[in-house]
Amino acid sequence: TETPAIGSGSSDGEMLRLEEEVTRLVLAVLPTKPACPLPEYRPEHAAPTPEAVSAQKEAVKKTIRAYRELIALTERGIFRLPRDDDCDGEKRRSTRSGGGRPSK
């Protein structure tokens, strides 16, 4: 049966028929939402702008340059920090007491 156009009539029969059709549509079970596609089937993201690509390349170049400078300052890639003169040859003591256990 076809649903009557709203406002096409005002008889009780039309209203009952319209109410039945709308109820049937509202109570219909909707299909489940489809799952997200697998990563290999997802659409590509929008391409970055040329300015973004050049900015990223410059940032990578600066990072590599800074890393190389840092490595050149260290001996065999290991930091050798000078000891404090305040130690006078004594071993440093831990500032924490009890090895991290709560005191009673």
Find the domain containing 16 and state its range.
12-86
Specify if 74 maps to a domain: yes
Q: Which residue in 4, 7, 8, 35 sits closest to 18, CA to CA?
A: 4
Q: Token digits for 62?
A: 């600066």
Q: How many domains does the chain have?
A: 1
Chain segment 34-53, per-residue pLDDT in tens? 888 888 888 777 788 899 99
Q: Token digits for 102?
A: 């709560």
Specify if 95 maps to a domain: no
Chain segment 51-90, per-residue pLDDT in tens? 999 999 999 999 999 998 888 877 666 666 677 766 555 5
The pTM for the full model equals 0.33
Comparing 29 with 92, which gets the higher pLDDT?
29
Chain segment 5-32, per-residue pLDDT in tens? 666 666 777 778 888 888 888 887 888 8
